[in-house]
Amino acid sequence: MDVYANLKQGERGVWVSIVAYLFCSFAKVTVAWYAGSEALLADGLNNTTDVVASVAVLIGLRIARKPPDHDHPYGHFRAETISALVASFIMFAVGVEVLTRAIPSLLAPEASAPDLIAGWVALGSAFIMIIVYRYNIRLAKATDSQALAAAALDNRSDAWVSIGTFAGIAGAQFHLHWLDPLAALVVGVLIVKTAWDIFREATHRLTDGFEPGELEILRGTISQIPGVSDIKDIKARYLGSSIIVDAVIHVDPQLNVEESHVITEEIEKLMKEAHQIKTVHIHIEPDTRRASP
């Protein structure tokens, strides 16, 4: 399955997330106002940001599927990363809003506990998000989609947030009224942290950042190929969810063009099998240490 087919399959998983988030956010916000639960309201707002973020990712995936054109010779794959960056801004703004509501409530908690129905709504939402997570993580593995895998992990974290919300509301039933706003505070912190993690990863990729440890793993893979006597240089960068590798290798100067080309084909084959990297640019140079005197 090529990268464009993977992007299309990834859209299906994003749609499942959007539908689930719409349902959960509406149920949580509605019940939160009725039950008087700051924690459930914060959780509902969290799901609202997830809807917006998922739509942004969906738009990015749609743009990323556009083929190369005259002014985008490498395609539009980075639109996926830019959409994640936009989503992080939205999530950060809502996270700050949740915190500004939760802190005063924590300092002066309500005298009465929220209705327990709020807790059951949170627990039901957690169950839904676990199902969505399992669906998306299976689809992500089947399509080799890093974007969908990240969305699946976000589904799982939202399930844990809802479980925490349930715990806070349940604790408030035992006259621990500060537990409900405390759960809201924790949700707000988690929203801000998630926004920061997405922002950091997106900006890292957009500025062609790549982890040195992962680069060394790729270097080790190339060095396994018979005929590669040395790796002079290796670089890697992200283009959307795909990885592009550029390497300069040394080979026996006595090899002809066809023999050298076979080595590059072996490198490309192994990189695809070992790391699912489909774009590898290899530049060959003669190993002067092996040149004839």
Beta bridge partners of 244: 237, 279
pLDDT in tens, 199-253: 898 899 899 999 999 999 999 999 999 999 999 999 999 887 788 999 999 999 9
Sorted by where each starts, the structural domains of the chain and their CATH numbers stand as 3-206 (1.20.1510.10), 212-290 (3.30.70.1350)
- The predicted model gives 7-21 an average pLDDT of 84
Q: How far apart are CA 293 and CA 280, in angstroms?
A: 33
Residues with Cβ within 8 Å of residue 260, at least 6 apart in sequence: 251, 284
What strands, in cross-sheet order, belong to the sheet with 279-286?
230-239, 242-251, 279-286
Between strands 242-251 and 230-239, the pairing is antiparallel
Name the most confidently modeled range: 81-90, 121-130, 141-150, 239-248.
Answer: 121-130
pLDDT in tens, 98-109: 788 778 877 776
